[in-house]
A and B are shown apart, each in its own frame.
Chain A
Amino acid sequence: MKGADTDDVKLELRSLRKVFDGVEAVKESNLILKRGEFLSLLGPSGCGKSTTLAMIAGFLEPTSGEILIDGKPVTHVPVQKRRIGLVFQDYAIFTKMSVRKNLLFGLEAQKVPRAKREKTVDEFAEKLDLKGLMKARGGELNMSEMQRVALARVLVTKPELLLLDEPMSNLDAALRASLRGELKRIQKDLGQTVLYVTHDQIEAMSMSDRIAVMNFGENLQVASPDDIYHRPKNRFVAEFIGDPPINMISCTVAGSGRSLRVSTEAHRDMPFETTAVSPGDYVLGIRAHHIVAAHEAFQGSIAAAVKLVENFGSEHVLHVTYGQDLMTVMVQPGFAREGDSVHVSFDLKDAHLVDRNSGAIYHPDEREAAA
């Protein structure tokens, strides 16, 4: 990323840090956001993603580090001069103003000529399907209308950079699903550069060009959704992404050179090809849908008792015994019931080897090469 054409870089964070009362909320964050890109900051509550956003918007002064927009440092530029759009988690709609007034707000503050103001507002009201609501007062709107108004209010000002702070966390699941597509469409239409903060992996995975996974103030991995899912760099990323959560199984690695052999409690000497790993105790990470289950025994399979069936609708998730542990397996609905015995196995080409101490993850060379 460092090699990206500087004209292409919209936002750059250089060693951005924020300390609150001795607690490091954001640790040395480095990030580059390209023009027109949709990048998500993904992580659990309190991981520092909203703090990062507040620093970019200008509401918080960084403890150290630099923020650059279009290559120019803005770290000490006041909020109102940064030309950034921000949609707040609670939308911050002006409840006493009409929707039209809300939309006009930014343009009036920026002293845009009246005719142009009205034209732009109408244009975005059309785009975001707000035509019928223009006369309603902010306080009369429901959550999804508020969200659209908040988005339109920011978009009319044609911000250089759009920041979205968990904009869907107040909406119900069905609405969220439809708005994901909507938001992505609008973003593409406008070629808008977006930094999206969320703790919802589905939102991040479905909309982003790239995702930055954060935990404890640290930027753990910045990569495309595919890479985040298939080639996580460390244990936290692997465990945070994916539903059901990735299976983590104790294992030992033996052998030398490129041809290693991985043994778990139930499987012995499975081949694993990588040059990055030296023998020792590891954790084997494998996702539920990479595990093969059958009613009859097959080569390499072991018998497993079904302890619980989770119904996901189009798929069922079996919780089966695997040695001393439980493991989740994704199957077709109706494949097995609680108390049944099934046979399971997996291919290590889909697995991740997790270092017990550092949490670093290694993949088979073959998959690494595909990246």
Chain B
Amino acid sequence: MRKQKTWQTVLKRTAVIVAAVFAFFPIYWLISTSFKPFDEWANWPPIWLTDNPTLQNYRIVFFPELAREFAAQQEGSLDYKVSGSAWNAFKGSAIVSVAATIISVAFGTLAAYSIVRFKTGGKNYPFQFLTVRMVPPIAVVVPMVVLFSILKLSDTYFGLILAYSAFTLPFSIWMIRSFIDDVPAELEGAAMIHGMGQFRAFLTVTLPLVKGGILSTALFIFILNWSEFLFALVLTAGNVVTVTLQVANYVSASSGKLYGVQAAMGTISTLPVIVFGYMIQRHIVRGLTFGAIKR
């Protein structure tokens, strides 16, 4: 019996370790590469941890004009033409991601409330929302490009915000719906009995109770928006740049992708997600366990 238990424990721990390695390796590789000098980026055998750490890649991210200077110092014919500034990309991503998250969560909350309390659309309506997510984005990209050019939305912040909001709304509705579902209707009923209208009762009673859920949904949606590449690629043309587009910008004609610079940009771009996550961590734990706690 005891032997069996030890054996099971070992197996479980091994599984956890494998999962952790699987999850953390890309992050480790991203950070590690971002500090590697040029000639170590694509070495074989790979260099796990560089002996010559450098901030060169980060400098190029923020001061693209340094790239040419750097290229001149290298042996061989390096063409270090870096287009666009990281600042611009961060600004673009911040505007689009934040706005689209707010819109998605705001409308998602209202729609979810309506579905839960008024059974809007009938029993299967929430599932219909999810089917939107079953369509691979690539399938709708071409029609969207056409539509956006007709509507003159291409390469505008507004256009990209609209696209992101539309694509994340099903997630918002689906997630927030489960949180609102957990709030007994009687609580709002009690508020209404005491003289509040339905919407005011929702704002004063229900909203504070699902705050954690809404914030964790917001983080989730924000990550989706922040890391989105396909729509950003096809719906913009240089005016609006996002971090994911900027990562793809770090290529040179002669040496292919600038892995180190891309890694540096990637490392920096994960920071907002971590900061935002840390800020609302208290609520996320509550949000993620919301349904699990018995009233």
Contact = CB atoms under 8 A, between A and B. Distances in A.
Contacts of B2: none
A96 B209 contact: yes
Interface string A273-309: 0000000000000000000000000000000000000
A57 B195 CA distance: 12
Most chain B CB within 10 A, of A78, A92, A94, is at A92
Contacts of A80: 192-197
12 contacts: A57-B193, A59-B189, A78-B197, A80-B194, A80-B196, A85-B193, A88-B186, A92-B184, A109-B195, A110-B194, A110-B195, A153-B190
Contacts of A79: 189, 192-193, 198
Nearest to B187: A92
Interface residues of B, number: 17
B98 interface: no
Contacts, number: 56
A154 interface: yes
A145 interface: no
B94 interface: no
Contact of B191 (A59, A84, A96, A109): A109
Contacts of B195: 80, 106, 109-110, 157
A90 B190 CA distance: 11
Interface residues of A, number: 23
A18 to B, nearest CB: 16
A131 B28 CA distance: 59
Contacts of B187: 92, 94
A322 interface: no
A58 to B, nearest CB: 8
A106 B191 CA distance: 7
A154 B192 CA distance: 11
Interface string B169-210: 000000000000000101101111111111010000100110
A105 interface: yes
Contact of A157 (B192, B194, B208): B194
Given A96-B209, A109-B195, A86 B189 contact: yes
A90 B193 contact: no
B119 to A, nearest CB: 12
Contacts of A150: 190
A78 B195 CA distance: 10
A68 to B, nearest CB: 19
Contacts of A110: 194-195
Interface string A235-259: 0000000000000000000000000
A315 B82 CA distance: 96
Contacts of B198: 79
A94 B190 CA distance: 9
A109 B198 CA distance: 12
B277 to A, nearest CB: 24
A84 B194 CA distance: 8
Nearest to A85: B193
Given A90-B186, A92-B184, A105 B191 contact: yes
A97 to B, nearest CB: 10
B200 to A, nearest CB: 8
Given A92-B187, A94-B187, A86 B209 contact: no
A85 B189 CA distance: 11
Interface in A84-128: 84-86, 88-90, 92, 94, 96, 105-106, 109-110
A109 B193 CA distance: 10
Given A110-B194, A157-B195, A90 B189 contact: no
B182 to A, nearest CB: 13
Interface in B71-128: none
B70 to A, nearest CB: 57
B264 to A, nearest CB: 45
Most chain A CB within 10 A, of B186, B187, B194, is at B194
A109 B189 contact: no
A84 B193 contact: yes
Given A80-B195, A90-B184, A106-B195, 18 more contacts: A57-B193, A79-B193, A84-B193, A86-B193, A88-B189, A88-B190, A90-B186, A92-B184, A92-B187, A92-B189, A92-B190, A94-B187, A94-B205, A96-B208, A110-B195, A150-B190, A153-B190, A154-B193
Nearest to A57: B193
Contacts of A59: 189, 192
B55 to A, nearest CB: 48
B194 A109 contact: yes
Cβ-closest 6 pairs across A and B: A106-B194, A92-B186, A92-B190, A109-B195, A79-B192, A88-B186
Contacts of B205: 94
Interface string B220-248: 00000000000000000000000000000
B71 to A, nearest CB: 60
Most chain B CB within 10 A, of A59, A78, A79, A89, is at A79
Nearest to B205: A94
Contacts of A85: 193
Nearest to A96: B208
A80 B192 CA distance: 5
A192 B235 CA distance: 66
B184 A109 contact: no
